[in-house]
Amino acid sequence: MESDSVEKNAAMNVFWYKMAKCNNILIRNIPLLGCIAFGIIDRGTNVLQVRPISECPLSCIFCSTDAGPYSQQRISEYMVDLGQLVEAFEWAASYKEIDDIEAHIDTVGEPSMYPQLVELIGRLSENKYVKTVSMQTNGFLLNEKLINELDSAGLSRINMSIEAFEPDLARKIAGIDSYNIDRLLWNAQYIARNTDIDLLIAPVWLPGINDNEIPKLIEFALKIGAGKKWPALGIQKFLQHKNGRKPDVKVMSWEKFYSQLEEWEKKYRTKLILSPEDFGSHDSKALPRMFRRYEKIKAEIIGPGWMKGEKLAFARDRVITVVDAGNVPVGKEISVRIERVVDGIYMAKR
Ligand code: SF4
């Protein structure tokens, strides 16, 4: 059974307004489970992903979620009411019956776009089931004052995505002219040297584009003292996603990727091949899954979807993304078939 708090969220009352080319939607009074673009995601481990906002100020050439001002696929951006996000998190955390939860703020955009980020981190770190509060960021909107506030609020770790040192290349990869790599590097150094927040630098390796930058980033991370408690680096292999941007990169096998990481591990004497155990991750009781694949259900359309052609729908206290409902009006009940169920995220078709 769901808790009262989640039951309460079943009432439909989505407030939204239009800006620029996107629907900008404040998520309030709908369930915060089931949609990849906002809310809480549980993948059956002690890590609960927290997604307060979907917007991003960058438009990286490799972005797997087609985020930012030059997005071609998105039709909506979402922001979640702070009180309701915390309430949903508290329910999810207590349901798991463990006391070493990592609350991981990792949006489909940039968490520091969320106006109440500091308060959110404070509320998550106060939770008695939470051991670690971590956050992904591109670092673009950070500054000394905000970093100090995040530190005081109890943020344990920042995973910062930096792809290149060389300013023109860094700007080209970030996809916007105002990208200033020097400011980002300063922020990274400030976090590592002046706060209790641990820093992990997480570059995406784009073969043929930033090969020469990765060793420089390893040297930088080690020089500034990243990785006080967790690994200093999390180098990511570029993977192409259906709705993501597709830069002109050379295809690299997993074998080549890992053998290069192994070589760098020896050269720099630091851990680069990572496993969930390096972050204290382990399996734990999953939140209730409400639908099975291919199940036919009735759902009510409650608002615009995230990508073109999509609508958000509601059934059994979950949000479902209906991928072919672009023309269906809000408030209408329709029959859908659940096509995809991954870690409590639901995609359906009419
Ligand atoms: S910072 Fe992340 S979310 Fe934003 S555009 Fe770059 S890859 Fe996408």
Q: Are residues 272 and 306 in the same domain?
A: no
Does the CB atom of residue 54 touch ligand 1 within 6 A? Answer: no
Q: Can you tell me which residue has the tokens 């481990």?
A: 45
User: Across residues 288-298, what is the average pLDDT?
Assistant: 96
Residue 290 resides in a domain: no
Q: How far apart (Å, rounded) are the C-alpha atoms in residues 38 and 27? A: 9
pLDDT number for residue 16: 39
Check pocket membership of 56 for ligand 1, CB cut-off 6 A.
yes
Whether the CA torsion 241, 242, 248, 253 is positive or negative: it is positive
**Residue 29: pLDDT band by 50, 70, 90 thresholds?**
confident
Average confidence (pLDDT) over 218-228: 98
Please indicate whether residue 214, judged by its CB atom, sits closer than 6 Å to ligand 1: no
Q: Residue 22 — very low, low, confident or very high, per pLDDT cuts 50/70/90? A: low
User: Of the residues 247, 279, 311, which one is the last residue of a structural domain?
Assistant: 279
Mutate to test the pocket of ligand 1, among 54, 56, 112, 178 (most ligand atoms within 8 A of CB): 56
Give the domain range for residue 344. Answer: 296-349
Specify the ligand 1 atom closest to the Cα of 174. Answer: 6
What is the mean predicted confidence (pLDDT) over 321-339? 96
Cβ of 109 less than 6 Å from ligand 1: yes
The residue whose CB lies within 8 Å of the most ligand 1 atoms, and thus the one to mutate among 138, 162, 172, 176, is 138
Give the burial class of 146: count Cβ atoms within 10 A of its Cβ; 0-12 exposed, 13-18 middle, 19 or more buried: middle
Same domain membership, residue 253 and residue 314? no
pLDDT of residue 30: 85
Residues 270 and 306 in one domain: no
Q: Give the number of domains in the chain.
A: 2
Mean pLDDT score, 79-105: 96
pLDDT of residue 24: 77
Residue nearest to atom 7 of ligand 1 (CA): 63
Note whether residue 288 is domain-resident: no
Q: Specify which of 8-12, 192-196, 251-255 reaches the highest per-range mean pLDDT.
A: 192-196
